[in-house]
Amino acid sequence: MLVLVRHGETEGNAAGQLLGRAESPLTARGRSDAAELSGALGPVFRLVSSPLGRARQTAEALGLAPPVEVDERWIEVDYGELEGRALRDVPAELWARWRADPSFTPSGGESLAAVGDRVRSACVELFARPGEGARADADVVVVSHVSPIKAAVAWALGGGDAMVWRLYLATASITRIGWGSDGPVLHRYNETLSAERAR
């Protein structure tokens, strides 16, 4: 199983900012939620992380046995000049253009199509080779960000890059994609601690 974990809440998330490549530490809630996520994970064969600090902090907080492998392809989208802005401060026409065109690139940033390309590459590689000597019942855990995880779900469902706008993903959430015989299979999406506690 490919298990995608979104990092815990950060100071930037709590402030409602567009948080791409900038570093923002986990809040106390983010650290606590990340530590609790380990209880929702089964046997883990590999642990992969985005290079950004909030993802690596979350990966370490999981307390898993495998060492953390950093893969640049799982880094968050680059918001360019929009980095750090509150969503309400982004000009409406700019936001509408971005939503309408996955190839749109904000000044100094990255398009959602580019995110989709690099994430698909990472997913195909993991799907083909989960790891040398991987057990059938062991998971590959990837700790990443909202945009790459949504891109991975779009890949699993055979959808286009624009699909990400129709998905909501909470911080400290888990998404599970199975290794189907004919391709990826989405098992669960956006599992959160609150949802688990309600069961």
pLDDT digits (tens, 9 = 90+) for 67-122: 999 999 999 999 999 999 998 999 999 999 999 999 999 999 999 999 999 999 99
**pLDDT digits over 161-189, tens only?**
999 999 999 999 999 999 888 889 999 99
Whether 76 is catalytic is yes
Share of the chain above pLDDT 70, in %: 92
pLDDT classification of 138: cutoffs 50, 70, 90: confident
Domain 2-197 top-level CATH class? alpha beta
Q: How far is 91 from 87, CA to CA, in rounded Å?
A: 9
Whether 145 is catalytic is no
- Which residue of the set 76, 110, 145, 191 is catalytic? 76
Average pLDDT of the residues in 28-36: 94
pTM of the predicted protein model? 0.93
Q: Could you tell me the two tokens for 17? A: 């900012």
Q: Are 12 and 22 in contact (CB under 8 A)?
A: yes
